[in-house]
Amino acid sequence: MGETPADSALIDGFGRSIRYLRISVTDRCDLRCRYCMAEKMTFLPRNRLLALEEIAVIAERFIAFGVRKIRLSGGEPLVRRDVVELAHRLGGHVGRGLDELTMTTNATRLAEHAEALVAAGMRRVNVSLDSRDPALFRHITRHGDVAQVLDGIAAGHRAGLAIKINMVALKGLNEDEIAPMLEWCMAQGHDLTLIETMPLGAIDEDRTDRFLPLTAVFDRLSSRFALTRDTNGTGGPARYWRVDGTATRLGLISPLTANFCDGCNRVRLTTEGRLYSCLGHEDQVDLKHALRTGGVAALDDAIRLGIAGKPARHDFRIERGAAPAVARHMSVTGG
């Protein structure tokens, strides 16, 4: 992994310690969720992507700088052929500088890879699942088969992966499924995190039509379930509640109705090697260029530069007809 930098702490200009790196290993996905992508997407040419070795080197420099958690994401990370090999390499650092290696996946290919991910050192995955109704799931994803996803979740659970369901709350689409989804998670022993739709990238619909404030959702859920605030987080942006009498936790990620930027401890590496210190800003540093032209020393300098430029907060707004907060899609930056 190389020598630890002399100043190993990554502290931004607002005193926040950066301990969490999210890596988009691919911008490609085998689904086309309406709130995330346009139906006809143009993906990056493969020759512009970071090589597996480059991703590993960059991740290991972040570990040397004190990052304790890494999440692999996309797009859909399991569509990248060498992602399990990457997981094995990074998983070797768990317990030796890294506390946790996790993944966000749509689970369409999780049944095939679950045991290999566990063998690599992964113990937990987030699964994006906005509906368990086959017809609605197919509508939201444009062509997905929910049975394939549910099979993947079951296989992951059998292999020993803790499962957290990520559900984007969509007005007029899946809002009536939120309480049943929580009940299903309670029965299965999974956690559930609800997410407000975010204005990232141009899509074929107006996001204001589907924006569902989680403040209202939580009011409805708390009248039906006994929820107790849980201050033990997982390093991400969610606020958590325990569902009394169960092992399930309910998380809320609400970038529009309850800004969480004050405690932000994470940065994102895109599949072509750009470091974004904020999901809602376009400012970035090209780590691929630094690594290829100047080696590890230049890479370390570029990482420090990116952290120093981290803004105080995002500028997300949902307004009818307004342009997205940033032009890039979530799949480019990584979930």
Q: What angle do CA 263, 60, 195 make, to 5 degrees?
A: 35
**Alpha-carbon gap, residue 38 to 79, rounded angstroms:** 19
**Alpha-carbon gap, residue 239 to 223, rounded angstroms:** 18
Q: Is 149 annotated as a binding residue?
A: no
Q: Is 122 annotated as a binding residue?
A: no
Sheet holding 20-24, edge to edge: 227-230, 239-243, 249-253, 191-196, 162-169, 124-128, 100-105, 69-73, 20-24, 266-269, 274-276, 284-286
Q: Is 104 annotated as a binding residue?
A: yes
Q: Is 185 annotated as a binding residue?
A: no
Nearest Cα neighbor of 68 from 131, 32, 17, 114 is 17
Q: Is 242 annotated as a binding residue?
A: no
Q: Is 261 annotated as a binding residue?
A: yes
Q: Is 1 annotated as a binding residue?
A: no
27 and 74 Cβ atoms separated by less than 8 Å: yes
70 bridge partner residues: 21, 101
Q: Is 288 annotated as a binding residue?
A: no
192 and 167 Cβ atoms separated by less than 8 Å: yes
Q: Is 97 annotated as a binding residue?
A: no
Q: Is 266 annotated as a binding residue?
A: yes
**Residues contributing to the annotated binding site for GTP:** 22, 71, 104, 164, 266-268
**Residues contributing to the annotated binding site for [4Fe-4S] cluster:** 29, 33, 36, 261, 264, 278
**Residues contributing to the annotated binding site for S-adenosyl-L-methionine:** 35, 75, 128, 198
**Residues contributing to the annotated binding site:** 22, 29, 33, 35-36, 71, 75, 104, 128, 164, 198, 261, 264, 266-268, 278
